[in-house]
Chains A and B, each alone.
Chain A
Amino acid sequence: MKKTYAPTLLVSELKRHVCGSFIFIFAMIIVLVLINQSYLNNELVDGVASKSYASFIPFFAMFAVFIASILSVTLVLDYERGYVKFLLSFPVSKYSLLLSKIVVSFLFSLFFFSCFVLQYVASFLIAGAPLGKTMLICILISYAAVSVVLLSAIGLGLFTSVVFKSSITSITFTFLLLMLWTLMPGPIAEQVLATVVIGEFKREIFFGSLSPQGFLDSTIQYINITNPSMWYLKRYYFIASSIGFLMLSVVAIALIILSMILFRRAEIH
């Protein structure tokens, strides 16, 4: 008798999502790619690939964040439909159940994000824009940044699922919090998080830099500044992205761990 069931659970979860949401996500990708294509061509007329990438990709990270949250909040739907009870009637630990949900939500939303990255790379190559080392680092850093953001979104979806245990309440709260986070309203976004002083250069880091777009923007901007005379600005973006990385990582880890603890203690009716 084998005792490893985690891959089975993961494959099953992937299959369920492929059946349930892949068509929707794929249709969304096609529509967004088509719309984006016209903007992309204009942007490339006198633009540098990495700068063009920096100005557009954070917007798609926001869509990926919504997808990640929606997929993770399906935990509450699984609970209501009895799928959680069905799985827990077999030797399946609650942690593996949550982990499979996290991994699948992450992979799906990252796939969504990757489609746009690919679109940019392909468009730049077709347009003959030189990609270079900076663009490659931009892509890598955007993946690192988007991973943190996606994990936070997944944590949020799981947390509302295990706290409210009701699909209507969980989905409503997730959407409200996502809207607040992604489309951060002015009064919140303009709150000063820290002030960076480098010699005579003084600039505030705003709360808005913690939104998915703000965070991705600062991380890619940091890579994009290659002019040595603007080293203070590069440093500013480095500090802003470091703060964002630190805070969002803590939020993501805290939400996921809290969800796991609450789910472990939750009774299944």
Chain B
Amino acid sequence: MSLYSGKRYGLVGPNGAGKTTFIKLICGLLRPTKGSIHVFSLDPWKDRVKVCRRIGVLHEETLVPPIEKVFDIFMFVGKLKGLSIDEAKREAEDLLDFLGLWDKRHLKVGTLSAGQRRRLELALAFMGSPELIILDEPTANVDPSGRKDVMSIIERLSREIDATFLISTHLLLYLEKICDEIIFLSKGRVLARGSMRELISKYSKPIIRIETSNNAIFAEKVRNLNSVSHVRIEGNTVIVAAKSKEFFKDIGKIASESGLYLYRIEPLHETLETIYNAIVREEK
């Protein structure tokens, strides 16, 4: 698997798929048992310090020491990342302001809420202008409204910052918006990868909402087609799950043979979640 600079990648997969392991391998915290991994042409296990100078990482767990003050931790991390005191101060001020934590700068990390702590850790990952930003479950332990905030911040930052992003999350709806490419992992293997458009064309089966002059008769006729896998009536429409795109040819034929008017043919929007389910089903 190769990741190219400047792109935004989403890492998706069931629990235990190997997403966090993959991230730890990139950060040089784990040594590969098989194969090899290169980040910026360096072996992260052997050259972890060099690799870490160029990456910013947010781990799944909250790791910031709770006894430190918010601003102090920024200065500390800034110095570790090789920034001068002035640079660290400037970046800390900008990031705290951007993340709405400026008022909390003199508080101890332990007194922050889970959402605020996550935003703080997120900000630390962005310190020192890293070339690769890795976010592992950025919304872990955060309530639903906090999740929305965190993902919106990531969305904004990913548009404003010129870096490569690797985001692992179960919030597929946000990945759709943020990422250029999605990578599906399962049991340590890449099941599928590509842009949303590529994944849709490869894995999705058309689901269409159709409104006719007699939905009951239309549903009955459509059910017998080989190109259809599922039919149901929903309100004054018929929802058809097609097996292939051949189905579109059959609709007109059925309507004209049965003397029905077609009022509406509307393809339903495919989501990453439906594609994810399709890939998981295929894997099983």
**Real complex partners, A and B?**
yes
**Binary CB contact string for chain A from 65 to 106 against chain B (1 if under 8 A, 0 otherwise):** 000000000000000011101111111110000000000000
Check: A5 CB closer than 8 A to any chain B CB.
Answer: yes
Contact of B29 among A16, A85, A93 (CB under 8 A): A85
**Binary CB contact string for chain B from 26 to 64 against chain A (1 if under 8 A, 0 otherwise):** 011111000000000000000011101100010101111
**Binary CB contact string for chain A from 240 to 269 against chain B (1 if under 8 A, 0 otherwise):** 000000000000000000000000000111
**Please, how many angstroms separate the alpha-carbon atoms of A85 and B27 in the complex?**
10
Min CB–CB distance B220 → chain A (angstroms): 58
Check: B82 CB closer than 8 A to any chain A CB.
Answer: yes
Set of chain B residues within 8 Å of A19, measured between Cβ atoms: 67
Check: A1 CB closer than 8 A to any chain B CB.
Answer: yes
Task: Give the one of A88, A89, A269 with max B CB within 10 A.
Answer: A89
Check: A8 CB closer than 8 A to any chain B CB.
Answer: yes
A window 1-47: CB within 8 A of B: 1-3, 5, 8-9, 12, 16, 19
Set of chain B residues within 8 Å of A92, measured between Cβ atoms: 49, 52, 80
Set of chain A residues within 8 Å of B105, measured between Cβ atoms: none
Chain B: residues with Cβ within 8 Å of the partner, total of 28
Is B81's CB under 8 angstroms from A90's CB? yes
**Please, how many angstroms separate the alpha-carbon atoms of A110 and B27 in the complex?**
37
Is B52's CB under 8 angstroms from A90's CB? yes
**Please, how many angstroms separate the alpha-carbon atoms of A12 and B73 in the complex?**
10
Is A1's CB under 8 angstroms from B84's CB? yes
Q: A85-B59, A85-B63, A86-B64 are in contact. Are A91 and B80 (CB under 8 A)?
A: yes
Min CB–CB distance B196 → chain A (angstroms): 30
Check: B83 CB closer than 8 A to any chain A CB.
Answer: yes
Nearest-neighbor residue (CB-CB) of B30 within chain A: A267
Is B80's CB under 8 angstroms from A9's CB? yes
Check: B104 CB closer than 8 A to any chain A CB.
Answer: no
Check: B77 CB closer than 8 A to any chain A CB.
Answer: yes
Set of chain B residues within 8 Å of A85, measured between Cβ atoms: 29, 59, 61, 63
Set of chain B residues within 8 Å of A87, measured between Cβ atoms: 80
Q: A3-B82, A85-B29, A268-B30 are in contact. Are A91 and B63 (CB under 8 A)?
A: no
Is B82's CB under 8 angstroms from A5's CB? yes
Is A1's CB under 8 angstroms from B49's CB? no
Min CB–CB distance A72 → chain B (angstroms): 19
Is A83's CB under 8 angstroms from B29's CB? no
Q: A19-B67, A83-B65 are in contact. Are A89 and B79 (CB under 8 A)?
A: no
B window 56-112: CB within 8 A of A: 57, 59, 61-65, 67, 76-77, 79-84, 87
Is B80's CB under 8 angstroms from A83's CB? no
**Please, how many angstroms separate the alpha-carbon atoms of A12 and B75 in the complex?**
11
Is B49's CB under 8 angstroms from A91's CB? yes
Set of chain A residues within 8 Å of B81, measured between Cβ atoms: 90-91
Is A8's CB under 8 angstroms from B59's CB? no
**Please, how many angstroms separate the alpha-carbon atoms of A92 and B57 in the complex?**
14
Min CB–CB distance B130 → chain A (angstroms): 10
Nearest-neighbor residue (CB-CB) of B66 within chain A: A81
Contact of B82 among A12, A83, A91, A269 (CB under 8 A): A91
Min CB–CB distance B32 → chain A (angstroms): 10
Is B84's CB under 8 angstroms from A86's CB? no
Is B82's CB under 8 angstroms from A267's CB? no
Is B80's CB under 8 angstroms from A268's CB? no
**Please, how many angstroms separate the alpha-carbon atoms of A9 and B53 in the complex?**
16
**Please, how many angstroms separate the alpha-carbon atoms of A12 and B82 in the complex?**
15
Min CB–CB distance A150 → chain B (angstroms): 26
Pick the 8 closest A-B CB pairs, nearest first.
A86-B63, A8-B79, A268-B29, A82-B63, A90-B80, A91-B52, A91-B53, A1-B82
Given A86-B64, A86-B65, A268-B24, 9 other A-B contacts at CB below 8 A?
A: A1-B87, A8-B76, A8-B80, A12-B76, A88-B28, A88-B48, A91-B80, A267-B31, A269-B30
What are 11 A-B contacts with C-beta separation under 8 Å? Answer: A1-B82, A1-B87, A9-B80, A19-B67, A82-B62, A86-B64, A90-B80, A90-B81, A91-B81, A91-B82, A267-B31
Using a CB–CB cutoff of 8 Å, the interface residues on chain A facing chain B are: 1-3, 5, 8-9, 12, 16, 19, 81-83, 85-93, 267-269
